[in-house]
Structure 1
Amino acid sequence: MPNYLLISLAVSLGVGLLLMLTKHWHGHFSMDHTHGVQKFHTKPTPRIGGVAVAAGLLTTWAFAPDDVNALLAPMLLASLPAFVAGLAEDVTKRVGVAARLLATMLSGVVAWSLTGIALNRMDIPVLDDIVAWTPVAVAFTAFAVAGVANAVNIVDGFNGLSSGTVLILLAALGAIAHGQGDLPLATACAAVGVAVAGFWLVNFPLGKIFLGDGGAYLSGFCLGWLAVLLLMRHPGESTWLLLLACAYPVTEVLYSVWRRRRARLPSGAPDNLHLHSLVKTQVVSRRVPHWPPRLRNAAVSPLMWVFAAVPAGLAVALQDAPVWAVLMALAGCVLWYHLSYQHLARQQQVPPLPDSGPVPLDEPEAVPAGTRPSSQF
């Protein structure tokens, strides 16, 4: 690993530890408290871990070679609206879902304005002719990167879950870029990865600091933009391959929207019925009820990382395969997620999709004593 990446890792880790140790100074505005539909942690915890990720990324930008910085510099500048909006929510708890979504979309537009790069193909006949028009391509790019950023935020429910998922997906994108001989892009994936890894070392397994909306949107935007760069720098790569690599968080956000719409709730309404929430209540809490709450929360993440690693690994393995093979793998991963969700939902007595009727926001009997439902959106 290049020295500047080691420095970035050390800075991210150091800032994360510093934020954790100084929480008595900033805790009055940075703490994530334990009450709420999606809270599982049992003690107030700082939720500004995104600052550590940002510090690591800025360190990489300061020391990276020119070919890598040509990719990192516009990405980091473009990420500011998403990061600032998320960090503002972490501090004030008053920035709405719509405002944060618009901020992440604005980051996508800024990235295009700085680089001239936009998603101008979907690998779908007819639609490719539409998205080739620049205004549509820019809008599609903004929507895509915002979707990935919000997907990362949605899976931010337990210690190390979202940051570990981002690391898995960045490793997959980096491997695909390396397979294409694109060393600068592979290194850029590694640069984002080490910045996230520094935070992850503080967050997992004990959850002493949380990623927060700022960190989720920052790392999610970078992940989405690197996927855009991979597609546009290598026209031979299929958009379906990149969708397969990011299948877990994308499926989670689409499933969440579908679930809430069927329950006649707003798409951004919080609930504790994500797959990771069900894994906590129906698997971990039943199998290891004697474990301390923090370790039970942490135990969810390795189980969920499997849902991220399988499609990401398949994407790396199938990068030279025909599109039909990629589509079959994608369909299989979505079906696996769906069947897993249905099985756990039945155990929790949640009406399994696609049955009609409202889905309860909180099932008291499903939440073990001494715990509370999980983290953000």
Structure 2
Amino acid sequence: MEFLILILCFLASVLITPFVKKFALKFKITDQPNYRKVHSTLMPRLGGLAIYISFLIGLFIFRPQDPHMIYLVIGSLIIIATGMLDDIYDIAPKYKLLGQLIAAIVAISGGFDLEFINLPFGGELQFGYLTIPITILWIVGITNAINLIDGLDGLAAGVSSIALITVSFMAFLQGDIFVLTIAMMVLGSTLGFLVHNFYPAKIFMGDTGALFLGYMIALLSLLGFKNITFFSLVIPVIILGVPISDTFFAIIRRLIHNKPLLAPDQYHLHHRLLKSGFSHRQTVLLIYGIAVLFSLAAVIFSMATVWGSLLLLAVLILAIEIFVELVGLVSKDYKPLLRFMEGKQAQRIERRKRA
């Protein structure tokens, strides 16, 4: 059944996307090239509308039954409306954030929240009054994280697809049919769009698509791993390692350089890889590879013991820090760990010379 859902939404998206492209071109809903963007020609956006319509087709045909369903649909509709307004009118960030907050509140009212976690060494951590702020932070944060990596042809769609595959697999292992069904609908719709969006892209998903994908991944991962262990809460963070780490270091970068948190720049992961000499296609495929490694780590993490999970988490954090310093994700001069390692290496060489 799930495979049928995937195929149906995939085919719907493949067929619908060209019509959305014509619609975007007719009404001049396009992305203008500028100094920050990689593309050099006028590109139709609003491609996320094709993803959403395909998703709705899946919902209409298969009609998954769950108390969360109506809130998910209403929240996603608000997100889609917010993204479309931004794609068409380029609305101010505060209005875009307002739409995300409203969608997050709708989701929370429908039971998409994080009330407590079971601690790994016993006991329970109740969030109490912090439940709503933490949940809003998660939903809005992941929604924007996907939006921030949408800078190259096929990048956001591909990374989102890898995350959705992993969420689907974890839902299958847990026997969560609702999360699995919705994830497969979104996955099929995204892969169908990717046929038209992979380099060289014929259409961009725009904020309509990026916000929708981020919102859906946030809700599915929250619903799939809510109210369980601390380490289970870490799993969706690892699955979304690429967009989360890119967003986290973008915040650090802007704080260090005293720039507004929403200020655009050319130091995101894909920008740094392009600067390092990788081609457009190579950069996208390399980030896909990193996303796959994060997803595999998440699966291993879910099956490991407590101490094994701690060790894997430590290795992941160390590997991320080294990679960030190598590509200059914070700044060209930010290399504390590499300098420390170079200093230790120099000390060892000096000791050998003296010996």
Give the shorter-chain TM-score range: 0.7 to 0.9
Q: Deviations over 1:281-302 (max 9, x none)?
A: 2131xxxxxxxxxxx4233211
In the superposition, relative to structure 1, how do residues 103 and 325 fare at CA in structure 2: closer, same or farther (>3 Å)? farther
Q: 77, 81, 88: which is aligned to 1:80? A: 77
Structure 1 contact 61–72 (Cα < 8 Å) conserved = no
Map of 1:101 onto structure 2? 97
In the superposition, relative to structure 1, how do residues 123 and 298 fare at CA in structure 2: closer, same or farther (>3 Å)? farther
Q: Are positions 1:268 and 2:262 aligned together?
A: yes
How far did 1:234 drift? 5.8
Map of 1:64 onto structure 2? 62
In the superposition, relative to structure 1, how do residues 77 and 22 fare at CA in structure 2: closer, same or farther (>3 Å)? closer
Local SS of the residue matching 2:322:
helix
Q: 198, 209, 218: which is aligned to 2:212? A: 218
Q: State how far apart, in whole Å, the 1-side matches of 2:6 and 2:22 are.
A: 24
* Pair member with larger Rg: 2
How far did 1:61 drift? 1.0
How far did 1:354 drift? 6.4
Runs of 4+ with >6 A deviation: none
Amino acid at match of 2:200: L
Map of 2:350 onto structure 1? none
In the superposition, relative to structure 1, how do residues 308 and 349 fare at CA in structure 2: closer, same or farther (>3 Å)? closer
Amino acid at match of 1:46: P
Amino acid at match of 1:163: A
Q: State how far apart, in whole Å, the 2-side matches of 1:233 and 1:121 are.
A: 5
In the superposition, relative to structure 1, how do residues 122 and 44 fare at CA in structure 2: closer, same or farther (>3 Å)? farther
In the superposition, relative to structure 1, how do residues 204 and 328 fare at CA in structure 2: closer, same or farther (>3 Å)? same
Q: Are positions 1:344 and 2:339 aligned together?
A: no
TM-score (norm 1): 0.81
Q: State how far apart, in whole Å, the 2-side matches of 1:233 and 1:5 are.
A: 28
Structure 2 contact 117–230 (Cα < 8 Å) conserved = no
Q: Deviations over 1:307-353 (max 9, x none)?
A: 2111111111221323443343334333323322322239x983325
Q: 311, 315, 321: which is aligned to 1:332? A: 315
In the superposition, relative to structure 1, how do residues 105 and 353 fare at CA in structure 2: closer, same or farther (>3 Å)? farther
Map of 1:287 onto structure 2? none
Amino acid at match of 1:118: D
Q: Are positions 1:20 and 2:21 aligned together?
A: yes
In the superposition, relative to structure 1, how do residues 334 and 153 fare at CA in structure 2: closer, same or farther (>3 Å)? farther
Structure 2 contact 10–188 (Cα < 8 Å) conserved = yes
How far did 1:202 drift? 0.8
Q: Deviations over 1:213-247 (max 9, x none)?
A: 11111010000000111123766962112222222
Q: Are positions 1:89 and 2:86 aligned together?
A: yes
Structure 1 contact 231–237 (Cα < 8 Å) conserved = no
Q: Are positions 1:45 and 2:64 aligned together?
A: no
Q: 131, 136, 139: which is aligned to 2:133? A: 139
Structure 1 contact 13–202 (Cα < 8 Å) conserved = yes
Q: State how far apart, in whole Å, the 2-side matches of 1:338 and 1:106 are.
A: 34
Q: 112, 116, 126: which is aligned to 2:111? A: 116
Structure 1 spans left out of the alignment, 5+ residues: 285-295, 356-377
Q: Identity over the aligned pairs, expressed in percent?
A: 23
Amino acid at match of 2:101: M
Q: Deviations over 1:229-281 (max 9, x none)?
A: 11237669621122222222111111100001100001110000111111112
Q: 228, 245, 251: which is aligned to 2:245? A: 251
Structure 2 spans left out of the alignment, 5+ residues: 338-355
Q: How does 1:275-290 map to 2 (within 5 A)?
A: 275-284=269-278
TM-score (norm 2): 0.86
Amino acid at match of 2:9: S
Structure 2 contact 21–45 (Cα < 8 Å) conserved = no
Map of 2:12 onto structure 1? 11
Map of 2:30 onto structure 1? 31
Map of 1:163 onto structure 2? 157
Structure 2 contact 68–111 (Cα < 8 Å) conserved = no
Amino acid at match of 2:172: H
Q: Deviations over 1:143-173 (max 9, x none)?
A: 1011111000111111111111111111111
Map of 1:309 onto structure 2? 292
Coordinate RMSD, CA, aligned: 2.7
Q: State how far apart, in whole Å, the 1-side matches of 2:59 and 2:81 are.
A: 19
Structure 1 contact 50–212 (Cα < 8 Å) conserved = yes
How far did 1:118 drift? 1.1
Structure 1 contact 119–140 (Cα < 8 Å) conserved = yes
Higher RCO, 1 vs 2 (CA within 8 Å, ≥6 residues apart): 1
Q: State how far apart, in whole Å, the 2-side matches of 1:236 and 1:262 are.
A: 30
